[in-house]
Structure 1
Amino acid sequence: MMEEKHKLALKRKIISNLKDYGVIWHEKTRQVIVEDFREVQRKLAEQTNSKGQEYKSKVQKYLAQSSDIDISRINPYLVMVESKTEHQRLWAYATSYWSVPVTVGYGRRIRYFVFDRQNDKLIGIVGLCDPVIGLGVRDDQSIGWTKDQKMQRLYNCMTAYILGAIPPYNKVLGSKLIALTLMFPKVRKDFYQKYKDSPSVITGENKKPYLVYIDTLGAFGKSAIYNRLANWDFIDYTKGQSHLHITANGSWELIRQVVPDDVFNSYKFGEGPNWKMRILKRGLRELGLSEDMLSIGWQRGYYRCTLAENWQKYLLGDTNQVVWKDFTHRDLVSYWHEKWVTPRLDTLQTNLELELDL
């Protein structure tokens, strides 16, 4: 009897948590009602990201003033994020500008600071993590692989779970530049070096760590960052399921209480998002709630960035040889200046001058 009372209390608390962030669960229709997705995400982001602002004084030396930037001389370089305290503080500070909840990434993870060579100030950040195991828009519409093919080659894919510029670089199309940095040869080479001796979590095999495919999701529908950007292709929208409106509002630990340890641990396969979704579904069922609570209708644009000429043949297992696309640091930065900056230089300069200094 006490167990059922406890479950009922948890159920009520989860529904209350949702309501606090603008998500209404309609018990009779078994539907989630959301009036303003952006407002929901903004509130969740305040909960998960805002604490990074407390580090501003400690990371000030990395932050640009508008007067530090000559737009025509912006030239990015990548620094891999390390576990040292200074890096963690700077990362936390940068993520505090995100208007959607920022997760820590799943499984394998590579994070970069993107600095400007002209002043050694932070342009923005990018983080790669293991991709979702099951994603229809990728599996069916983008790659077109079978389940067996995916299990063999998903290892060669990563997801950009966070990507963007911070002020004042966000006012001069810095996020588009950061998206281009993922094509720097350094990224695929760093990936190879980091994972060349690491067996795949899924198969246990020592696979060739060739990073041939990077994908990402727009925060709300399509994203201006990737629109008309070289080598970034929009494929379609996701179906609208999400866990963030539950896991980022304080309810993850509540649901965790009703999932048996053996189930919780057995599902921790690669520590990917699918594992979290499965745990949530199990927990919601245990509490007498519905899996439909995950169908929030938050459709996100799906984008891919391919690093190999024969990326699809490689991911389908039709070849074991990778033919890399001929990207260079110099060409990518030149493209950004010529395509996006020079034609808009006066406008971007005005944006920069109007930006309040950090």
Structure 2
Amino acid sequence: MSEAELAELVLTKLKEAGFVVTDEGKLCPSVLGKESLRRVHRPALQLEIANRQDWLRQYLPKYLTFFADGNEIIPERIDPVLVEVTKQQHHDLFRIARLLWSIPFSKGYGRRSRFLIIDKANDKLIGLLALQSPPLSFPARDRLFCYPPGKKTEMVNQTMDIQTLGAVPPYNRLLGGKLVALAAASNEVRQAYWHKYLGRVTEIEQRILKPHLVALTTTSAFGRSSLYNRLSYKGILIAKSIGYTEGYGAFHLAELYPLFREFLENQGISTRGGFGSGPRRKWQIIVKALRRLGLSDQLLYHGIKREVFLFRLVDNLEAYMEGRDTEPIYRNLPFSELVAWWRERWLLPRAGRVDGWRAWRKEEIKNILLMEQNKATE
């Protein structure tokens, strides 16, 4: 593909996604609705699924049994258990389930922890939780604290960013996402982090970070969040809205990322990652490509402001992050008690109001993840 053809393709894809491109080659701030945003993400998601077809055809039949039919769920008997992803079976199940999300998956960066929530009543998967190292610069978070001089990195690295959080069908229709969000703040997640990173030496700077996990941050997938809003436990606010992102990002150009890399490599510009490249590598590659194509990097300003949430895992968060307290005072949020709260507050009332979840069949997952030409051969 020529330089001119790639530049034209960029503008065409943006217009197809519902963005308005000005005569100066810039994006007007977007006011896309949630369904429009799903449509923007869909090409990159479908590309990810297409690239995994061989793997899915081999492993999906094995793991499909871990997903529930609606008639296999009795709401009163749902018995969630939190499982840290450590075994290959866990990784494979996580990998398949994550493809059911509306947005593409990234392996993450830095410190990473993943969890499955399983229903012990039927051994079926309820939902997923994945954490990764937080961005060092995050305005909505950084406005909350006055970090000690020279210690911002140390303090921020005692938090994590929620990369994936949600429930799979049909538990999502029973507000299983609320359960996963509560689980993120549980003692068990914090303790798993402690055991995993106690004494661990960082790969880049070769230093030992404190294994405290004092807070989580996350952003809503599609603007304002209904999952995290009013999420509380016995009067304790679990997720607090702390503002919105600034509307910059590269998700709307993710489908073209392989072409950007190929274009730069053909021009003799390395796009390889490695230590020090960090989570902004894709951003940097896209910026380089846009500029060499004669397009404005203002195309990265999509105008979609995502709501930012903070999960406090300690009661003295401000004092600890600012160095006024030397030890965190952890909240006591056992997973079992959070489950009991979710069951009475959300699960049972929801199960009594809606019925669509009963008709769900796990075979639908094959329809979602296997391409038409593959289904024809089954």
Tell which deviates more after alignment, 294-303 or 184-193: 184-193
The one of 228, 240, 251 equivalent to 1:233 is 240
**Distance across 1 between alignment mates of 2:134 and 2:346:** 30
Shift of 1:14: 4.2
Shift of 1:220: 0.8
**Distance across 2 between alignment mates of 1:306 and 1:152:** 17
Q: What is the correspondence of 1:195-274 to structure 2 with a 5 Å cutoff?
A: 195-200=197-202, 204-230=206-232, 231-249=238-256, 250-254=258-262, 256-257=264-265, 260-261=269-270, 268-269=275-276, 271-272=278-279, 274=280
Q: What is the correspondence of 1:1-358 to structure 2 with a 5 Å cutoff?
A: 8=4, 10-15=6-11, 18=14, 21=17, 23=19, 25-26=21-22, 28-31=24-27, 36-49=36-49, 51=52, 54=57, 55-82=59-86, 84=88, 86-140=89-143, 142-145=144-147, 148-200=150-202, 204-230=206-232, 231-249=238-256, 250-254=258-262, 256-257=264-265, 260-261=269-270, 268-269=275-276, 271-272=278-279, 274-348=280-354, 350-358=355-363
Name the CA shift for 1:209/1:82 in 2 (closer, same or farther; >3 Å): same
Tell which deviates more after alignment, 14-23 or 101-110: 14-23
Letter in 1 for 2:68: A
Name the CA shift for 1:283/1:315 in 2 (closer, same or farther; >3 Å): farther
Shift of 1:10: 4.9
Structure 2: state its 5+ residue gaps: 233-237, 364-378
Percent identity over the alignment is 29
**Distance across 1 between alignment mates of 2:358 and 2:3:** 55
**Distance across 2 between alignment mates of 1:219 and 1:310:** 29
1:41-97 alpha-carbon deviations (Å, 9 max, x no partner): 23332222464764431202211121221212222212222362x334322221121
Report the secondary structure of 2:341's partner residue: helix
Report the secondary structure of 1:332's partner residue: helix
Tell which deviates more after alignment, 156-165 or 284-293: 284-293
Which TM-score applies when normalising by structure 1? 0.86
**Distance across 1 between alignment mates of 2:323 and 2:293:** 43
**Distance across 2 between alignment mates of 1:114 and 1:20:** 37
Structure 1: state its 5+ residue gaps: none
Tell which deviates more after alignment, 157-166 or 240-249: 240-249
Name the Cα RMSD after superposition: 2.9
Letter in 2 for 1:300: R
Name the CA shift for 1:33/1:345 in 2 (closer, same or farther; >3 Å): closer
**Distance across 2 between alignment mates of 1:21 and 1:48:** 18
Report the secondary structure of 2:128's partner residue: strand
**Distance across 2 between alignment mates of 1:145 and 1:248:** 38
